[in-house]
Structure 1
Amino acid sequence: MSAALGLGLDHGVAYADRPPPVNPGLLPPGDPAVPPDKTEQKSNTACVSTQQGGEGPAIPPPQRALDLPRAWEFSRGAGQVIAVIDTGVSPHPRLPDLEAGGDYVAEGGDGTSDCDAHGTVVAGIVAAKPVEGQGFSGVAPDARVISIRQTSKMFQMAGRSREQRPEDQPDGYGNIDALASAVRRAADRGATVINISLVLCISGSYNPADGPLGAALRYATLERNAVVVVAAGNKEQGCQAGNPGIDPLKPNDDLWKNLTTNVTPARYDDYVLTVGSIDRNGQPSAFSVPGPWLGVAAPGEDIVSLDARGTGTINGFVNQQNGVTPLKGTSFAAPYVAGVVALVRARFPELSALEVIKRIEATAHAPAEGWNPYVGYGAVDPVAALTNEIAPTLPPKQPTSPHSMQLAVPAPPVPPDHRARNIALIGSGTVALLLILGMLASFPIRRRFGVSADDM
């Protein structure tokens, strides 16, 4: 699942290349944390129901893949503040230090109401405290979470319900300028890590009107030293067109010039770490949107996390057909990486935000070509990120064309040197011969004398 920004936007101007340079002058204020529009929640629309699951000692597959117990020997994220900009985070006993950071969806809210149950899942993946006998735990259990609500499928512009039938679903609400304000608010409140599991996907031939968001991301990263981790987006929800991969006939093509889907904030890869999803086998998830901005990948399937409706854990949402939709998406891959960032920041406090991003990318399990638009620099590796020395440079985020090279012809093998063996054999043979001669010489030689008749 990946929350989408669907309102308060226009398509901007045609611009099929990289994002334009960020204009710091567009930086919005972080206060007040109020919706930019009047909003409503339909009175006959219930909040999202959840499917309980994941209780017990079994460790969820994503956690097993990341080998968190080994990583916790080096860091548990102590002292880190992770801002979750999402659908809100409900209070939960396994998030005892949850801080209300503000609400850009409902007037009077403080960020700790989660009608969508999405932000609570994200926060649980990042920092849920471990519980005896339970396999599930957050990646950085000693970190603290700030919740800022910025979007919700259950809200819409005020007055819209009068134009709808009672059975119609809400339009949803999320304003991209409010997202920019939320990023600044998180940075100003001391967040060392900011997780954004929200995306806006539009045609690749247009540049979204996201200048204030770009300015806020730059401000958070360069001026407030916060690492911003963002989701790559899902083809199943708002980003159906996806993006083309590497054309084997044109391997050197610039992927930025062939976009069919422009994804923000992912495209601001000078300032953010964009995360794609992989399955339990380490393969790119079918729903994960590729792009030239991909930084790394993390597990985005078989997810277990905290329940916004109770005190336990869940593994799915109840959909409109009363079926269960499993938890999956780049939305949930991103907080795994945000948690790893918190671990790294706690262990290496001297590193800047951009240096932390470089360490995460440099220690990932790289694909054969070094980087590709599906998994970026590869699957995140918490233990390596906490322990490895890293190279001073990374390969560029671009396809590497195949090339041929002549392998060196192996030199002929050196003839075996049998001199020592031959000397030993000759010496042994000589000794044996002398022994034989000596033995023969030790036997008496008998002469047979003849007797003549004259002697008789």
Structure 2
Amino acid sequence: MKTLFSRCCTMPAARHSSRRAGLADDSSRGDHDAAATAGAPAAAASSSLSSVLRRSVLPIAVTAALAFSAQPAVAAPESGPDSPASTVPNDPPTESDRVIVKFHDPAAAETTKEKVVEEAAENALSETKAPEVSEKVKSTAAQADVLELDRELDEAEQKKLVAEIQADPAVEYAEADRLASSSWMPNDVYTPYQWTLLPAQGGVNFPGAWDVSRGNGQTIAVLDTGITSHPELNSKVLPGRDFINDTALSRDGDLRDANPQDQGDWSAAGECSAAARPSSWHGTHVAGLAAGVTNNGAGISGAAPGAKILPVRVLGKCTNGWVSDIADAVTWSAGAAVAKQPANKNPASVINMSLNYPGECGATMQNAINSAVNRRVPVVVAAGNSAVNAGGTAPANCANTIVVGASDNAGNTASYSNTGAVVDVLAPGGTAQFPMLSTVNGGTTTPGAATYGNLYGTSMATPLVSGTVAMMKQRDPAITPARVEQILKSTASGRLGSLNLNPSAAVRTVASTGQAQASYTATGGIGAKWRSTGGAAKWGNPVTNEANAANGGRYQEFVKNGRKITIYWSSATGANIVENATLIGKKFIAAGRERGYGFPASGEARVNGGSYQLYRNGSSVTKTLWSASSGAHAVKETGAIGGAWKRAGLERGWGWPTTDEYTSNGEVRQQFSHGVTAHWTSKRGVWTTR
């Protein structure tokens, strides 16, 4: 059977028909990305086409949807103004000639204070570059001194000087005094209709991120249907590549080449679905959301206004593509070698894949993703639009990915979005009523004129996260993908707490170094557990700072030779290790980590025939057991069946669990390796059959 990839995560509104990219050779499914009428920021429609599968295939779906009967999400102008309606403030300068210093003794002599600052300047910046104190400007309400220097310092010099001042025992704290201005807002005429970028309209805080970073110097690889010519994209596009190695899909009559233009994913009636479908221009829409031209007085704003776009065509006719082609595209985009392909002279800073396919993540895709991550290129993927657990969808279930679900304009999980433990963060994906405006093409089959249109789906949420990552990487180009993921999750906020993307907080959390991040340290209970169980020699070094877990707990991640562990701490359990790569560790992650089973109450213990780990969630205790013959399954030790299993002698009695608990014919059941099936009902309690 052939295996194809298709666009994952978009649903179109008014003029497009519903589609879902699939790993399929001739298939189409109802998709959740919506496209709107070209040329105006209208809203998406409320329904999509039913899917018709002509063959038994594995669909690769784009994560956007097309819908009919569109109603405007907002009233749109017939045409945009010729010039901005309001003045856009200038960016505040990054240089400063002031420092704020709080001395332990505010009454110390001014000459003494000046000497501390000037000696620190000589140590930090060398004698020839060291500024002198010109005057004391004032004292703050906290009795800190604002000191003016005789020259301006750039951001790097400010950091060095402040660190040196703070090292003096006479100093309580020091920081640069900086000029501020109104939050930067682009003057693009359609930005007011991009509710996803504006917190006041139900979106997330991109203006707060733009004040400190815009993704300058970064490249977002968009692995999708390709790209069409558009004034909001052309100046941002780098030389990409067409990786479709199948003329039945490519539509351009050849195989892999240097032309990533979208040839159109349209289909005639009966080809991919019962009805004919126009082209979606999915890749063009995703590219505009990620990094469209911004602040040019026209069109839309991109999430990362300063980033470049690397278009890589992997989806063709029927919005389908082969996994083998997509995996090669991931590898090439990250700058690694691909046989018989020229080197990529513009390696990506982050890879965006708004696509998916059902089933497990195979070695081909996983190896490609690992290759990118090993080059410090984060891979951001869509969760999918089937309203199911994303753990059954690739590449969302691949390791080392940042998985994006979709939220609606109220900050709730969108009804169509896939969910589950593999989803790392939600970003606005829109709905049929409130879709997402971006760049598209006016052609119904082959490319026509450039225009704008609405789509919705996890396809649209994903480039917002990719844009955020690009802005994070401008602040620190050497930041690791693991650290990026940890920051995105630890700074998430909103109605869903630990899920909603917070671009401003994520970008501001990254230290603006332009160099490799300083070494992380492990302290407290987590650090003690790490050191007492073998430390760096056994577990490797920390790759994240300690961060908040659910329910008041904490966690920190460590890696050795690519093998990750997570040490969790809670007041009830203390600190314990989860070995992420073992089957028991994977079972814990798939169950929702500490939000599922609770916090680990032991490490993974090896016993005769297998291993186990205990977890505690309030008064509930769960034990996950693994053996080579039974696999990894959980027993609820504080439940009725689990309690009876313990009384029967644990795995020495009924044996190892061969299933989790499940419901059948009104009974809760669980099977064990010694041929025992345990049953439970509220009336009868627990009994067994063999």
Which whole-Å CA distance do the structure 2 matches of 1:231 and 1:311 have between them? 26
Give the C-alpha shift of residue 7 in structure 1: 2.7
Give the C-alpha shift of residue 388 in structure 1: 3.5
Which whole-Å CA distance do the structure 1 matches of 2:385 and 2:39 have between them? 24
Q: Deviations over 1:12-45 (max 9, x none)?
A: xxxxxxxxxxxxxxxxxxxxxxxxxxx9xxxxxx
Aligned residues: 304
- In structure 2, the residue matched to 1:80 is 218
Asked if 1:6 is matched to 2:23, the reply is: yes
1:287 corresponds, among 411, 416, 440, to 416
Change (3 A) 1:98 1:132: closer
Give the C-alpha shift of residue 136 in structure 1: 2.6
Which whole-Å CA distance do the structure 1 matches of 2:283 and 2:428 have between them? 17
Give the C-alpha shift of residue 72 in structure 1: 1.0
Contact kept? 2:287, 2:463, Cα under 8 Å:
yes
Which whole-Å CA distance do the structure 2 matches of 1:49 and 1:99 have between them? 27
Which whole-Å CA distance do the structure 1 matches of 2:297 and 2:229 have between them? 22
- In structure 2, the residue matched to 1:137 is 301
Which whole-Å CA distance do the structure 1 matches of 2:36 and 2:465 have between them? 27
Q: Deviations over 1:362-397 (max 9, x none)?
A: 1111777x7xxxxxx411111101224895235375
SS class of match (1:379):
coil
Residue identity opposite 1:295 in structure 2: D
Asked if 1:263 is matched to 2:397, the reply is: no
Asked if 1:148 is matched to 2:278, the reply is: no
C-alpha RMSD of the superposition:
2.7
Give the C-alpha shift of residue 91 in structure 1: 2.1
Asked if 1:200 is matched to 2:334, the reply is: no
| Structure with larger RCO (C-alpha < 8 A, sep 6+) | 1
Which residues in structure 2 correspond to 1:92-171 (within 5 Å)?
92-95=230-233, 96-105=235-244, 106=250, 107=254, 110-115=259-264, 116-134=280-298, 136-154=300-318
Give the C-alpha shift of residue 283 in structure 1: 0.3
Give the C-alpha shift of residue 227 in structure 1: 0.8
Please state which structure has a larger fraction of its residues in strand.
2
Q: TM-score by structure 2 length? A: 0.41
2:500 corresponds, among 346, 370, 379, to 379
Which whole-Å CA distance do the structure 2 matches of 1:145 and 1:50 have between them? 25
Residue identity opposite 1:285 in structure 2: A
Q: TM-score by structure 1 length? A: 0.61
Unaligned runs of 5+ in 1: 9-38, 40-47, 155-171, 244-258, 316-326, 371-376, 406-456
Contact kept? 1:279, 1:285, Cα under 8 Å:
yes
Give the C-alpha shift of residue 53 in structure 1: 1.8
Contact kept? 1:91, 1:98, Cα under 8 Å:
no
Which whole-Å CA distance do the structure 2 matches of 1:264 and 1:80 have between them? 26
Change (3 A) 1:50 1:152: farther
Residue identity opposite 1:294 in structure 2: V
Give the C-alpha shift of residue 133 in structure 1: 4.2
Which whole-Å CA distance do the structure 1 matches of 2:193 and 2:481 have between them? 31
- In structure 2, the residue matched to 1:179 is 326
Give the C-alpha shift of residue 60 in structure 1: 1.3
Q: Percent identity?
A: 31
Give the C-alpha shift of residue 73 in structure 1: 1.0
Residue identity opposite 1:234 in structure 2: N
Greater mean deviation of Cα atoms: 80-89 or 55-64:
55-64
Change (3 A) 1:130 1:145: same
- In structure 2, the residue matched to 1:305 is 438
Which whole-Å CA distance do the structure 2 matches of 1:153 and 1:284 have between them? 31
Asked if 1:214 is matched to 2:370, the reply is: no
Give the C-alpha shift of residue 103 in structure 1: 1.4
| Higher radius of gyration, 1 or 2 | 1
Q: Deviations over 1:336-361 (max 9, x none)?
A: 00000000000122311221121111
Which whole-Å CA distance do the structure 2 matches of 1:384 and 1:287 have between them? 27
Change (3 A) 1:294 1:366: farther
Unaligned runs of 5+ in 2: 1-8, 11-19, 27-34, 42-78, 81-188, 245-249, 265-279, 336-343, 443-448, 511-543, 550-588, 599-616, 621-690
Contact kept? 2:358, 2:394, Cα under 8 Å:
yes
